[in-house]
Structures are given as structure tokens and as C-alpha cells.
Amino acid sequence: MQEISNRLIQSYALSPERRHALYRRTLVVVILSQIFGGAGLAAGVTVGALLAQQMLGTAGLAGLPSALFTLGSAGAAFLVGRISQRRGRRVGLSAGFIAGGIGAAGVVLAAVTNNVTLLFVALLVYGSGTATNLQARYAGTDLAPARGRATAVSMAMVSTTLGAVAGPNLITPLGAFATSLGIPALAGPFLLAAAAYILAGIVLFFWLRPDPLLLATAITNQDQAAAAAAPDAPSRPEPPLNSRGVTVGTTVMVLTQVAMVAIMTMTPVHMRSDGHGLTEVGIVIGIHIGFMYLPSLVTGMLVDKLGRVPMAIAAGLTLLAAGIVAATAPAQSMMQLMIALALLGLGWNFGLISGTALIVDATPLETRAKTQGSIDVLIALAGATGGALSGVVVAGTSYATLSLAGGILSLLLIPVVIWAQRTRPARTG
């Protein structure tokens, strides 16, 4: 707390208007960083599997890059969460983004030198950007009112759309630019990722001041101390950790992540095997990423107004629909694949925002960032599992089987959230 002076704490504690203005400014800074962050994450999603297939010479291991950078994001989520708890969001998030940029640069070097070992190591480090891009969504909630937390998450996420949609649609020009530099075309998007992640880190490091988490924690601590010093005054202690809420929120996000990553990872490989070009792959993945983030503003409002549980159920049903549409898509049907990947992104969006809101509702400020980081580790490991197994499943069966399995798996979150709604007091909607 030494980074926040008592005078500054007092000025915000005594002025709800000033605190709200800081909340809005924090969202602006987070939104700007997320625009760059979205461009950075799009590289691995779009061409990571294709680059590995090219370097390894087999489609069976094409899911490995997704598994590696998702595994790397698990370690980064743990570290970023703990750094953020101790030093604030500004330090934790900026460090994570810059590490992701270094990893992206390492992927480019690995492609140039055809060094598979370096590729694997670089993908692990590149995962730091993915983890940080997700954890940045929490920064907007630290100063948000309780019933506006999902909306705050959605505002942070929707800004990712600008960079994330642009990234896949720049595959062809980035590939041409990379080739002109003597770099393999598939490594081109990672050039963009390196620059974008580093810029996101710079934005957060210099402009996310005062730190929203440190300030919110300090104000809460001051309020509690004042209440303890005046026993007759009305007290509003911060709710303790709600373990059931954490469990349900985590389950929702883990299951949606597994289903989404598994299907998304193998879609470019499936399309290439059916004769689709890189531009077509970029369009489909661009639409998918757009639907992952663009509906966020509407989703956030729905989660705040309709409740966390109904929107989590909607996530499971939407992901099932995505799996069915993908599994039944004819080999040359771009339209059906676009619809399937749009539904896949939308279902993930529903699950991530409702699950995030459940987690924020259930965690006190003094442990919130650390708990969020630990949960994001589980989400990342779930994604790594989905990515690693996706190539094996497709190689052993088919893309249709993988898609149906992912859709059916996502349905498991429905009984979990219904159980939670029936067995815990209603406090999150």
C-alpha cells in the first residue's frame, strides 16, 4: 500500500464523484491496452497451428502450439495475479504484456532459424500475453459498483475486438511483409504480436495511475478501520470469500475454454486440408474472434440485469449449437464454418463474462487478484488440454467428432450453475 499516499486515499474516499471519474479513466486506459493486446493474441490463434504443421511436418501435432502458449499463459496468470496483488495491476499487467511481446519475437526467430526447440520455448513465453490480455478485464472492476461489474468487464473485452479482428485479416499482407524481410510468411503475424504486446505493456505502465486495485483496497481498509474506531457507527464490512461462487464461476469459464480452444485450434488445419486459402482462414478466424469480444457490451448488461446464472446456461447452449453446426459443415462451405465459429465465439463470450462476474462477486479485495490469477491458471490449463488433444482427436477420428465432443462437453456447466442457484443464497443475480 506504500505506493498510494494517505492523502490520495483520503481524497478519493471522501469524493464518490472523483472515484467514479477515476473508474472511467481506468477503463479508458484498459481499453487502449486491450486494443493492442487483441492484435497480439490473434497471431497465435490464427497461424500458430499452421506454423507448427509446417515446421514439424505433421498435422497430428498441430494442436501443440495452442497447448504450449496456453500452458505458458497458465504460469503467467499465476505470476501476474500475485504481482498484481502485491504491487498493483499496473506492474503485473505491464510485465505480462511485455513478456508476451518477447515471446512473439522469439517465435519469429525460431521460424527464421527453423529451430523447433526455440519455437516451443518462445510459444510458452508468448502465452504471457494471452494470460495478461484476459487478466486485464479484472482491472476495470476494481472501482466499479457491484451491479456494474459485468458491464465493466465487457467494456474491457469489447475493445479487444479492434485488434483481434484486424490481426487475422492482415495475414496475407503481414506474410508478404515477412517474406520481403526473409522471414517465413506464417511468422508474419507474430511480428505484429511482438509490437502490439509491448505497446500494451507500455500503455498500462505509464497511464494506469493511481493503481485501481491498490486504491480500492486502501479505501476499503480505511473504511473498515474507521468503522472499528467508532463501534456505534453503521458498519458495512466487505463480504468474505464465497467458495461456492468461486467454484461455479471457475467451472463455467473452464468448460467454455476447453470447448472453444479445441474447436478453434483445429479449424484452420481442417480448412487448409479442404483446400481453403490463408485469406479464407483469416476471415473465419477473424469472425470467430470478433464474436468472442464484440458482443461484450450487450453481454455485460445482460449479465448484470438478467443474472450470472441464466447467461452461463446460455453459454452452454450456444457452444453446443456451435459444435453441431461445425460438425455438419460441408467441406467447401465457408458460410457454415463462419456461422459455427461465430457461435463458438459468442458462447465463449457468454461464459467468460458471466463466470468473471461470479468470481468478482465472490472474492474480497484483499485476495481478489491472487484468486483471479489462480483461477486463470486453471482456465489456461483447460485450454492447453483442449489444444493438445484437439490435434490427436482429429488425427484419430475427424473434425466433426471433435466439434460434437466440444459442444456436448460445454453442456456440463448447466447442472453446475443450476445446483449453485438452488443451494446458495442469491447474491449475484
Q: What separation in angstroms does the CA of 113 have from each of 86, 106, 127, 188, 367?
A: 39, 11, 21, 14, 44
Measured CA to CA, the distance from residue 252 to residue 398 in angstroms comes to: 26
Q: Are 251 and 406 contacting, i.e. CB atoms less than 8 angstroms apart?
A: no
Would you call 304 helix, strand, or coil by DSSP? helix
Looking at residue 116, its pLDDT comes to 85
Of 97, 58, 59, nearest to 80 (Cα)? 97
Looking at residue 232, its pLDDT comes to 55
pLDDT along the chain (429 residues), means of 10: 67 83 90 86 71 73 70 88 92 96 94 90 90 85 83 81 69 84 88 92 94 87 68 55 86 93 88 83 85 88 91 95 93 88 96 92 86 87 81 88 92 83 52
Where along the chain do its domains lie?
7-423
Q: Which fold has domain 7-423?
A: Growth Hormone; Chain: A; (1.20.1250)
Q: Helical H runs in 294-364?
A: 296-306, 308-327, 334-362
Of 209, 204, 211, nearest to 94 (Cα)? 204
Grid coordinates representing 202?
507500455
